[in-house]
């Protein structure tokens, strides 16, 4: 379910060419993942206009998987590798800083 956002704006209605009149309205937005719904009402709760904008589907037709799935997985792998390298460097820095001596018997994988 999308989040609803209310905005208050000023719209100028033309009663005649020389006289501009301010009209306060509320715009409600329902922002979802595949659509945006909107409505405009005035202060007396009269509906001025409303509508929905649908976005194209984000899944591939053949597989049913999201179009950016491969890119997202590669990005996740890069981040994981970068974080692992960072942790190793932090550990080595900590060991050298505190002058800790230790013997590495075996490399364990988790």
pLDDT tens digit at each of 110 positions of the chain = 445 554 545 454 444 444 445 677 888 888 887 889 989 888 888 888 899 999 887 777 788 788 888 899 999 999 999 999 999 899 888 888 887 766 654 455 54
CA-based nearest residue to 48, from 26, 33, 80, 15: 26
My answer on whether 78 and 35 are in the same domain is no
pLDDT of res. 102: 64
In 3D space, the residue among 30, 23, 52, 27 whose CA is nearest the CA of residue 39 turns out to be 27
Question: In a 10 Å sphere around its CB, with 0-12 CB exposed, 13-18 middle and 19+ buried, how is residue 104 labelled?
Answer: exposed
Are residues 75 and 44 part of one domain?
no
Q: Which domain holds residue 20?
A: 3-54
Alpha carbons within 13 A on the beta-carbon side of 99: 0
In the chain, how many domains are there?
Answer: 2
């Amino acid at each position: 379910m999308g989040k609803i956002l209310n905005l208050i704006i000023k719209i100028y209605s033309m009663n005649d060419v020389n006289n501009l009149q301010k009209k306060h309205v509320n715009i409600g937005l329902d922002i979802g993942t595949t659509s945006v719904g909107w409505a405009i009402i005035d202060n007396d709760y009269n509906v001025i206009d409303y509508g929905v904008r649908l976005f194209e589907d984000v899944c591939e037709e053949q597989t049913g998987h999201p179009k950016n799935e491969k890119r997202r997985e590669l990005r996740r792998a890069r981040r994981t590798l970068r974080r692992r390298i960072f942790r190793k460097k932090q550990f080595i820095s900590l060991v050298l800083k505190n002058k800790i001596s230790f013997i590495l018997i075996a490399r364990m994988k988790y």
